[in-house]
Amino acid sequence: MPTYRFLSSWHVPGTAQAAWDAVVHRPQEWPSWWPAVTRTEITEPGGRDGVGQRVSYWLRAPLGYRLAVRTRITEAVAPRVVVVEVIGQLAGSGRWEFVPEPGGVRVDQLWEVTATRWWMRLLAPVAAPAFRWSHDRAARRGGQGLAAWLARGSAR
């Protein structure tokens, strides 16, 4: 199975703590700012630092297919980095880094995942560029949504 390595960077207003809180402590609000995320459910709250938190996500890719994934926070150093295990229709790991910079925060995401759906594995040799495009578009729109959400003060 091919492993996809998706790297995205967003610049968002505010502090690293505000961006951290939006991503780590308020995943139930992702659908309000991330168009690809249609629903989330926290299935286990985890510790105060987030470690152990389990969240189920339902995603609609820009190409129209849907994915259901679960994440479990395995490492967290607030408000700098969070690492998750990904299971479900994608499997692997994700890492978010929050880097203060002039005018806000750079949010770097790295996803290293394999698709577990049979049709995605079957089509991977020819569809990988389309899957990358779909991810990049969904991530870009997520960054724009988070930036607007933080600018409105929704993270308070």
- Predicted confidence (pLDDT) per residue in 33-84, tens digit: 999 999 999 999 999 889 999 999 999 999 999 999 999 999 999 999 999 9
Structure tokens at 140: 């870009």
Q: What is the pTM of this model?
A: 0.93
Question: Measuring CA to CA, how many Å separate 77 from each of 17, 35, 51?
Answer: 11, 27, 9
Separation of alpha carbons 117 and 61, rounded Å: 14
Residue 155, pLDDT > 70, answer no
Say if residue 38 is exposed, middle or buried (CB neighbours under 10 Å; 0-12, 13-18, 19+): middle
Q: Where are the alpha helices (DSSP H) in 15-70?
A: 16-20, 30-33
Per-residue DSSP letter, 78: T
Separation of alpha carbons 55 and 84, rounded Å: 10
- State residue 38's pLDDT score: 98
β-strand partners of 61: none
- State residue 156's pLDDT score: 58
